[in-house]
Amino acid sequence: MTDIRITDSHCHLDFPDFEGQTAEIVSRAASHGVHRMVTICTRLRHEPRVRALAEAHPAVFYAAGTHPMSAHEEPMATLEELVALAAHPKFVGIGETGLDYHYTAESAAVQQTSLRIHIEAAQETGLPLIIHARAADDDMARILTEMYRLRPYSCVMHCFSSSAELARAALDLGFYLSMSGIATFPKSQELRDIFAAAPLDRILLETDSPYLAPVPYRGKRNEPGYTRHTAETAAKIFGLSLADLARATEANFERLFSKTAEGRGAA
């Protein structure tokens, strides 16, 4: 099972679902060829515990931001705070941030303010922005484009499951689309078609674990090792062998998250 090397570009190892199990989860991931992962802090007050996970495991890197669904109940992040976090050798991205109007549309204004601050941090640090987008395609495309025109930055649309229009807007800015277990679901053909129309050199893989486990684990707790199943679906979408798909997505990850090379094994 270890004939390939895959990166889970987005997981949440600090969530209660994984408490006390990180070493086992990292080991199981490696047995499936998932040799590296980025664990995401969604509330900045939890950053110390997420950082500790990255420091304890050479395979784990981390990013931090305020999740849009929490923006209305958390202190507003500051540019200075995010830039300071970026000094850590294993801190490799800004976010996740973004817009979510599906459950939290009433906090749209707060979410947009938070998003702009996170974009400024990405612009200032040169680290990639990690975007969560749900039911907010028009505002998302507008803000990402407006801010990019002011000062370019890099970005990944994490767990992409939005419209073809938002995909095109992101790709036109040079951004990346990340494929999660959703792409393996039988009813996700429209989403698979969106990925198939994207350039291979803009595709990343992720789990968003503990959520969104791919087939054949759908409905169960997800974990980084299951990235391999999403990679198998991606290989079919692009008409590649699993080995070739893995090599391509590894190159993409290292191009976008370039700091991982500098922080490899650092603590």
To the question of pTM greater than 0.75 for the whole model, the response is: yes
Q: For 219-250, what is each residue's pLDDT tens digit?
A: 999 999 999 999 999 999 999 999 999 999 99
Distance of CA 261 to the CA centre of its chain: 17
For residue 34, being part of any structural domain is answered with: yes
For residue 119, being part of any structural domain is answered with: yes
pLDDT at 264 over 70: no
Q: For 2-46, what is each residue's pLDDT tens digit?
A: 589 999 999 999 999 999 999 999 999 999 999 999 999 999 999
Q: For 192-208, what is each residue's pLDDT tens digit?
A: 999 999 999 999 999 99
Instruction: List the one residue out of 28, 9, 41, 19 whose CA is nearest residue 205.
Output: 9
Instruction: For residue 62, give the CATH number of its domain.
Output: 3.20.20.140
What's the pLDDT score for residue 265?
Answer: 40
For residue 1, being part of any structural domain is answered with: no
For residue 179, being part of any structural domain is answered with: yes
Report, as an integer, the average pLDDT of 156-173. Answer: 98
Please tell me the distance from the alpha carbon of residue 134 to that of residue 226, in angstroms, as a whole number.
23
State the residue range of the domain holding 58: 6-263
How does the average pLDDT of the chain come out, rounded? 96
pLDDT band at 261 (very low <50, low <70, confident <90, very high): confident
For residue 75, being part of any structural domain is answered with: yes
For residue 28, being part of any structural domain is answered with: yes
Please tell me the distance from the alpha carbon of residue 127 to that of residue 166, in angstroms, as a whole number.
22
Count of domains forming the chain: 1
Please tell me the distance from the alpha carbon of residue 192 to that of residue 239, in angstroms, as a whole number.
12
What's the pLDDT score for residue 2?
Answer: 55
The CB density around residue 56, as the number of other CB atoms within 10 Å, is 12
